[in-house]
A and B are shown apart, each in its own frame.
Chain A
Amino acid sequence: MEVSLDLFLNAIAAGILLGGFYAAVSIGISISFGMLDIVNIAHPAFIILGSFIAYIANDKLGADPILTTIVLAPAFFLLGAGLYQIYHICFERRGREALSGLAFFFGILFITEVSLLLVFGVDYRSVQAAYIGPAITIGLVGIPFRLAVPCAVSLILVGVVHFYLQKTFTGRCILAVSQNQRALQLMGANPIRIKQIAFGISIATAAIAGAFLIIIQPVEPSIGRDYIGRVFAVCVLGGMGSIPGTLLAAMILGVAESFTATFYGPSWAPAVSFGLLLLTLAVRPAGLLGR
């Protein structure tokens, strides 16, 4: 198999751009799973939900997908907060997160996917925007805007979340609650309320990432499943709740997938994320930058 420099460089470039996007996709899991220990396996469902909402707005109103999801982010935030409330009452309080909580989120994932299937069918949907067609070429490397724009906005999103967690009071409470719930109570903040806000944020980021997704590629309801592996792989490899770690891990995943797709064919792509996850769990479960 001939490895040309051209192919090689393009694979890296695509991988890095994809990696930025994967960081946005996974940042919600870094919060809900990495920091709050909630196994929201339904996270990808909200990404896809975001994609489809962006699609509707784009199809009917010609609205920009990214702006749509940002405008609707508060609604997703409330959805996340409500979902956490149910999770807390039914599972956290009763100590049944292990079996029942997991089954709960799996059910949510399933319901969302099948509902979207019923409404939209199995066809792939895509959006139209000015920046989806064009690309620029730097030397041997072609950079399509449909990858570059989501990547750039993803990095901004990740940066905003990171800043929020580090600099605002609520954000620091979220970081604190992930370490020691009792200390937080002594500080006068309500840990349940804090976790609710954090979970709401995680769902909102998922929805926004959905807009990025449908810009990068056409979307149909069942592709959420491919993302389960990706988000958990990134979260674990990144060190469970470390935002910089998430970014680094996302890049690694993006490049790994890009290389696999370029040189071995796209049908191997789903195995990459899960393989990476299994490898990380076996070799270094604390991740790259884990605490």
Chain B
Amino acid sequence: MRSLPFLGAAIVVAVAVFFAAALVGNEYVYFAGYTVLQFVVLATAWNILGGYTGYVNFGTAGFFAMGAYSTVVIYKTIKLPLLLAIPVGGVTTAIFGLAMGYLTLRLRGVFFAIATLALAIVLNTLIVNWSFVGGSRGVYIIRPRDAAHFESYVQFLFAVMLGLSVLAVWIARMVEQSRLGRGLAAIRDDELAAECAGVPTLRLKLISTTLSGFLMGLAGAPFPYYVTYVDPGGTFNLAYAVNSIAMPIIGGTMSWIGPLVGAVLLGTLEQVATVTISSELNLLIVGVLLVLFVTLAPNGIMGLVSARRRKAKPNA
């Protein structure tokens, strides 16, 4: 399917999801749905650098927080409406991703991964010590009560996240099927051989990191309005790192469908678990699932699906 028809189909699905949620009539659906959709964006973003290019990013929390705190800074200074603050958050994080990539992508993949963790922690420390955005005590964001054309501001946030999910999935699919995506796959499979086949590996890795960072920043930008109290502990939460890695791995890292499937399934499971059991146990389940899938089903759910399909239809 070419990319514009796909975008159209994705928008239709998103609108359908929106009205289905509206039918439930309970505001809680928007809160829970927002979190699941947030993970769709984060997982999809992570997978562009992780699954497509083969570089593990442990610092998702840092990128996410960058988007969130960019909105906080805007809120405390020029007070742009959310729809304008979101691209700013995305671009800021993209620049951060580019800079980080430039410093670390010449290193082996292993050092890149550790460097991403390092940067997240350094960023955390900087924010903790920056009193303008509240430091360790955090800041309060006043969430507007209503939004034009929507029943409530939360419903509006839900719609915003739906839109960002559509955008993320659309971009991921376009990358995957483009010349860029093939180059990234070559880098993932064998970076040295890719370079010797003419692939400009450093340039493509930088693009991948920047794009991934951009999408993560977009995911983080509306967060202050969602959560209303922004502090480093809640924003730099390791749960973001583990989920953005677990969801693509469980769903399948080879294509755009995997992170989507992983985020929806695991995200929903977590929402249920947090309410019924405890949030720590919930995280434990995520960790266990991650380890189980990565050892036993490394191609994720989509990998199992396509393996079953191949067995049913032995081909030439």
Whether A and B touch (Cβ < 8 Å) is answered with yes
Tell yes or no: A74 within 8 A of B by CB: no
Chain A residues with Cβ under 8 A from B287's Cβ?
107, 110-111, 114
Query: In the complex the two chains form, what is the Cα distance from A140 to B244 in whole Å?
Result: 51
Give the shortest distance, in Å, between A225 (CB) and chain B (any CB): 7
Tell yes or no: B17 within 8 A of A by CB: no
Question: Are A110 and B103 within 8 A (Cβ)?
Answer: no
Question: Are A285 and B107 within 8 A (Cβ)?
Answer: yes
Question: Are B117 and A111 within 8 A (Cβ)?
Answer: no
- 8 more A-B contacts (CB under 8 A) besides A90-B296, A267-B129, A281-B111? A39-B114, A41-B114, A100-B249, A103-B290, A110-B287, A236-B111, A267-B125, A285-B107
Tell yes or no: A228 within 8 A of B by CB: yes
Question: Are A281 and B245 within 8 A (Cβ)?
Answer: no
Stretch at the interface among B26-34, B89-97, B278-286: B278-286
Question: Are B294 and A100 within 8 A (Cβ)?
Answer: yes
Partner pick for B291 among A98, A99, A107, CB 8 A cutoff: A107
Chain B, 242-295, CB within 8 A of any chain A CB: 242, 245-246, 249, 253, 278, 280-281, 283-284, 286-288, 290-291, 294-295
Give the shortest distance, in Å, between B298 (CB) and chain A (any CB): 5
Query: In the complex the two chains form, what is the Cα distance from A102 to B56 in whole Å?
Result: 8
Question: Are A277 and B114 within 8 A (Cβ)?
Answer: yes
Chain B residues with Cβ under 8 A from A267's Cβ?
125, 128-129, 136
Chain A residues with Cβ under 8 A from B249's Cβ?
100, 103
Given A104-B295, A106-B58, A285-B107, A114-B283 contact (CB < 8 Å)? yes
Given A110-B238, A229-B117, A281-B107, A103-B280 contact (CB < 8 Å)? no
Query: In the complex the two chains form, what is the Cα distance from A114 to B283 in whole Å?
Result: 7
Tell yes or no: A282 within 8 A of B by CB: yes
Tell yes or no: B121 within 8 A of A by CB: yes
Residue of A nearest to B241 (CB): A106
Residues of B in contact, count (CB < 8 Å)? 47
Query: In the complex the two chains form, what is the Cα distance from A225 to B295 in whole Å?
Result: 23
Q: Which residues of B contact A (CB under 8 A)?
A: 50-51, 54, 56, 58, 103-104, 107, 109-111, 113-115, 117-119, 121-122, 124-126, 128-129, 136, 188, 238, 241-242, 245-246, 249, 253, 278, 280-281, 283-284, 286-288, 290-291, 294-296, 298
Chain B residues with Cβ under 8 A from A229's Cβ?
117-118, 121
Question: Are A111 and B56 within 8 A (Cβ)?
Answer: no
Partner pick for A268 among B114, B129, B281, CB 8 A cutoff: B129
Chain A residues with Cβ under 8 A from B124's Cβ?
270
Question: Are A225 and B284 within 8 A (Cβ)?
Answer: no
Partner pick for A271 among B107, B125, B253, B294, CB 8 A cutoff: B125
Chain A, 80-103, CB within 8 A of any chain B CB: 86, 90, 94, 96, 98-100, 102-103
Tell yes or no: A275 within 8 A of B by CB: yes
Chain A residues with Cβ under 8 A from B115's Cβ?
277-278, 281
Chain A residues with Cβ under 8 A from B121's Cβ?
225, 229, 270-271, 274
Query: In the complex the two chains form, what is the Cα distance from A267 to B127 in whole Å?
Result: 11
Question: Are B280 and A118 within 8 A (Cβ)?
Answer: yes
Query: In the complex the two chains form, what is the Cα distance from A229 to B123 in whole Å?
Result: 14
Most-contacted residue by chain A among B119, B129, B296 (CB, 10 A): B129
Give the shortest distance, in Å, between A43 (CB) and chain B (any CB): 12
Question: Are A118 and B284 within 8 A (Cβ)?
Answer: yes
Query: In the complex the two chains form, what is the Cα distance from A86 to B4 in whole Å?
Result: 45
Chain B residues with Cβ under 8 A from A41's Cβ?
58, 113-114, 117
Question: Are B280 and A96 within 8 A (Cβ)?
Answer: no
Most-contacted residue by chain A among B50, B56, B114, B188 (CB, 10 A): B114
Chain A residues with Cβ under 8 A from B119's Cβ?
274, 278
Question: Are A103 and B245 within 8 A (Cβ)?
Answer: yes
Give the shortest distance, in Å, between A213 (CB) and chain B (any CB): 19
Given A102-B113, A282-B103, A270-B125 contact (CB < 8 Å)? yes
Chain B residues with Cβ under 8 A from A100's Cβ?
249, 294, 298
Tell yes or no: A108 within 8 A of B by CB: yes
Chain B residues with Cβ under 8 A from A282's Cβ?
103
Give the shortest distance, in Å, between B136 (CB) and chain A (any CB): 8
Given A102-B113, A232-B114, A110-B122 contact (CB < 8 Å)? no
Question: Are A104 and B109 within 8 A (Cβ)?
Answer: no
Chain B residues with Cβ under 8 A from A90's Cβ?
294-296, 298
Given A96-B298, A106-B245, A281-B115, A274-B104 contact (CB < 8 Å)? no
Tell yes or no: A166 within 8 A of B by CB: no
Given A104-B295, A111-B287, A274-B118, A98-B109 contact (CB < 8 Å)? yes
Chain B residues with Cβ under 8 A from A115's Cβ?
284
Give the shortest distance, in Å, between A270 (CB) and chain B (any CB): 5
Question: Are A114 and B128 within 8 A (Cβ)?
Answer: no
Residue of B nearest to A108 (CB): B291
Partner pick for B122 among A104, A275, A285, CB 8 A cutoff: A275
Residue of B nearest to A94 (CB): B298
Partner pick for B284 among A108, A111, A232, CB 8 A cutoff: A111
Chain B residues with Cβ under 8 A from A277's Cβ?
114-115, 118
Query: In the complex the two chains form, what is the Cα distance from A99 to B51 in whole Å?
Result: 8
Tell yes or no: A192 within 8 A of B by CB: no
